[in-house]
Homo-oligomer: A and B are copies of this chain.
Amino acid sequence: MKPLSSITADMADDVLFEFLHMEIVAHVYKEHATREDIDKERVTCVSTLELMGFRVGQGLIERFTKDCPTFKDDLDVMKFLCKDFWSTIFRKQIDNLRTNHQGTYVLQDNKFALLTQLSSGKQYLEEAPKYLAFSCGLIRGALSNLGLESVVTAEVSLMPSCKFQVVIQKL
């Protein structure tokens, strides 16, 4: 029998989440593949994945911030998200956070975990958005539970780097 140390916990959790995420994306797209209006279905798939991410993000942030002090402002929340939240889920922090100080934030991840399994060739660029929808939802769900409603979008220009744009909705 092999020693327990042959599987490290980190390695296992990384791939478990990544594999499960790939399965979800494949499943959601497959179930819509046979339907007629392809463009409309593409929107539905993105929404489905985004909503799943939203609920998971809400659940996670609820657990993570149970015993935490309140945040002093929106920027403070965003920093928490880029550092603690991100590194817990994706094993690294966001590489760059920019803001216009008017409610728009751009989070750049130079090596986004959920894109690293895809080839970096140009032909995969158009495939990339479907692997980002869940994570947009994660961010939106986390922010929502911290009292900030937002619109979150993502773009990839050079794999596996990507940018998430968060626009806080003022009430």
Contacts and interface: CB of A to CB of B under 8 A. Distances in A.
A138 to B, nearest CB: 10
Given A4-B83, A27-B48, A84-B2, A20 B19 contact: no
A33 B22 CA distance: 24
Interface in A1-44: 1-2, 4, 6-7, 9-13, 15-17, 19-21, 23-24, 27-28, 31
Stoichiometry, as copies per complex, reads 2
A88 interface: yes
Contacts of A80: 1-2
Interface size class of A (residues with CB under 8 A): 35 or more
Contact of A60 (B1, B19, B87): B19
A130 interface: no
29 contacts: A1-B76, A1-B80, A2-B80, A2-B84, A6-B64, A6-B68, A6-B84, A7-B64, A9-B88, A12-B60, A12-B89, A13-B13, A13-B16, A15-B59, A15-B63, A16-B56, A16-B60, A16-B89, A17-B17, A17-B20, A19-B56, A19-B59, A20-B20, A20-B21, A23-B52, A23-B55, A23-B56, A27-B27, A27-B48
**Closest A-B pairs by Cβ, 4 of them:** A13-B13, A12-B88, A19-B56, A23-B52
